[in-house]
Structure 1
Amino acid sequence: MSGADLHEKDLSGAKLYRANLSGAKLYGANLSGASLSGADLSGSSLSAANLSGAYLQKANLSGAYLQKADLSKATLYGADLQNAVLFGANLEGAKLKGANLEGAKLKGANIEEAIK
């Protein structure tokens, strides 16, 4: 599914463990509660996507575009967010223990109550 065009699709609750979604177009998609543990989302466009409550343990989100994405209460333990663009994203209550945020762009992001 690398490079797939899934923008504005309803994928809420989807089981996408270890899926290869690198470079996918997922902007505006509903991925709330989706299981994306170990998935490769590197370089994907997830702007304005709903990832609230999603499971993204050890997911690769390096270089992903997550502007204004909703990641509230998402589980991102050990996720790679290196160089991800998170301008204006909502990370309230997200679980970030062990996540790599090196080079991530967080201007305007809400990181209140995010757990490290």
Structure 2
Amino acid sequence: MPRLCDLHRPSAVLGSAEWAFACHVDGRATVGELTAASGVTLHDAIELVTRLIRAGLCTIIAVAAPALADGKPAGGAAPPLPRRVRQAVPSVADSLPARPDPGLLRQILDGLNSLK
């Protein structure tokens, strides 16, 4: 969750969009909730939070998952993220025959010569 923080430099310059968005940052709302409160898209909210962080006016605070009575996180453990499997991409050279057929080459050459 983003929250505003004390400025650690003499000044910061904010545009009107950053200023309007910063007015909604309270340290309790998630970026998703800030999109609804401020009326910006999720992409724009992420960009605005990034600009506020770079200006030194905002930081991200970690939020613990809500715990159940047994002390385990609600919903159980998060599933592992999918991993990208890199597959070899066949090149064009792999799909060409090792040696061209001489008869086919002769037909192509004869056809090209007939165009003259």
Fold match by TM threshold 0.5: no
Task: Tell me which protein shows more strand as a share of its residues.
Answer: 2
What is the TM-score of this pair, normalised by structure 1?
Answer: 0.20
Structure with max Cα Rg: 2
Is the helix fraction higher in 1 or 2? 2
Q: TM-score, normalised by structure 2?
A: 0.20
Structure with more contact order per residue of length (Cα contacts < 8 Å, sep ≥ 6): 2
